[in-house]
Amino acid sequence: MNSKTPVAIVDDEADMRGSIAQWLNLSGYDPASFDSGEAALKAIRADFQGVVISDIRMPGMDGMALLRRLQSIDAGLPVILITGHGDVSLAVEAMRSGAYDFIEKPFDPERLAEMVRRASVTRRLTLDNRNLRREMTDGSMLLRRLVGSSHVIEKLRESILDLAQADGHVLITGESGTGKSLIAHALHACGPRKGKPYVYLNCAAHPAEEMEKILFGPSTEPEDRPAIEASDGGTLCLEHIECLPDALQARLVSELRRGETADVEQAPRNLHIISISSQITSTDTPPEELRDELFFRLGALHLSTPPLRDRGEDILLLFNRFCARFAEDYGCEPPEVSAEDAARLIQAQWPGNIRQLMNVAERAVLQKRRGEEGIANLLDEGAAMPNATPNIMVEKPLREHVEAFEKMLIDNSLRRNRGAVSAVMEELALPRRTLNEKMAKYGLVRAEYI
């Protein structure tokens, strides 16, 4: 379920604090009251998840001074100021200084609640964007997004760490929806070029003339730099490399050859290119769409992403994670996965891989929200979709099904009980030693659920 958004209420008048707190609590927020700016500053940090409401007129530290202090802690923190009659000019000055909004006394509590709602949405987007930027520059966080403990995913993580330390160009191949773009970013973030520019370009998204300007220039805007120049010293990621027009392939080869011979006047670029393709199936034979000389240069190092159907128990783990995420977004409980559902999920072919699994998880949550049950019917519907690969059932050992289902049950219980081992033991009727052994066997770490 969604957790309540915290709201810090700062006012020297107890009655005002109490009435605002009561209304916001009824509106679904988690209010905390402070009688002074100094008291509020002791509790509010840069990672504060919510909104601040402050009276603008207070003894000691007033609302304007509090706003400035909060801005120094986190410029993206939404602060709503309460003004009295005649303080509008002061409130306008506060807006110029970074206040989110202001409301004049006496005010309609529903209007204040709506203001808090909009501010909380803004705050969530700000924090989400920060987390995303942090993840995109932290190789270890990116690797943690490659969820799973199957042999193939463990081997993939090891390969990423190995290839990240090499400075040769990398070709990533694999079926659509297997996380190739995430892996490309992880290769950059785990290597010596971490912190340097990472430039992503989808070769299938632009017509030839536009692609040439984006890749080589000249740029239409003076402040924009062509991708080949902007990525010098960093990493250039080219997705759907097979869609790069032939003339641009020739230019790219020329760029890669700069400085290889003595008669080349231009200094060589410090280029590191990661190419991505869902169509290349062999690194020994270049496809017709790619020039041989470009293909073999870009494919000096190769990484192949495993399809979801080969990841065994990871399928249930990923499905549970996606269901938990969508259940939080939609404000409902995640669906229960039966033993039959688990078997069907593991046996499905998943032609759309992780992307398809995510879609099924979202539909399962929406189905649960409507009061309907059953995941198998969603898999049957997916198999009947036009242009979909038949959802062929593949026989797998019984032990694999049992272990995957057991791991899923423990994972779900740990998630529901926020890592409280005693509660998990009681729910699953397992002694502590047995639970510890199974958690170790399946790579489940209590700290990840707290």
**What six digits make up the tokens of 369?**
């929200």
Average pLDDT over every residue of 114-125: 91
Residue 359 pLDDT > 70, yes or no? yes
Least confident span in 87-96, 101-110, 333-342, 395-404: 395-404
Positive/negative CA dihedral, 251, 257, 259, 263: negative
Cα 325 to chain centroid distance, Å, stands at: 11
- The answer to whether 211 touches 248, Cβ cutoff 8 Å, is yes
Of 7-11, 281-285, 330-334, minimum mean pLDDT range = 281-285
What's the mean per-residue pLDDT of the chain?
85
Ordered by start, the domain boundaries in the chain are 6-135, 138-306, 309-449
Q: What is the CATH number of domain 6-135?
A: 3.40.50.2300
Whether 80 contacts 7, CB under 8 Å: no
Q: What is the pLDDT of residue 22?
A: 93
Residue 384 has pLDDT above 60, yes or no: no
Estimate the share of the chain in helix, then strand, then coil, as percent rounded to the nearest 5.
50, 10, 40
User: What does the block give as tokens for 32?
Assistant: 């905390």
Closest CA to 32 of 24, 112, 83: 24
Task: Please give the structure tokens belonging to residue 200.
Answer: 């992503």
- Strands of the sheet with 170-173, listed across from one edge: 198-202, 235-239, 273-277, 170-173, 301-304
The class (CATH top level) of 138-306 is alpha beta
As a whole-number percent, the residues of the chain with pLDDT over 90 amount to 43
Comparing 394 with 1, the larger pLDDT belongs to 394
Q: What pLDDT is stored for residue 322 in this prediction?
A: 92
Nearest CA among 116, 102, 125 for reference residue 28? 116
- Look up residue 382 and give its amino acid: G
The answer to whether the Cα torsion of 77, 83, 89, 90 is positive or negative is negative
Domain pair 6-135 / 138-306, same fold: yes
Q: What is the CA radius of gyration of the chain?
A: 27
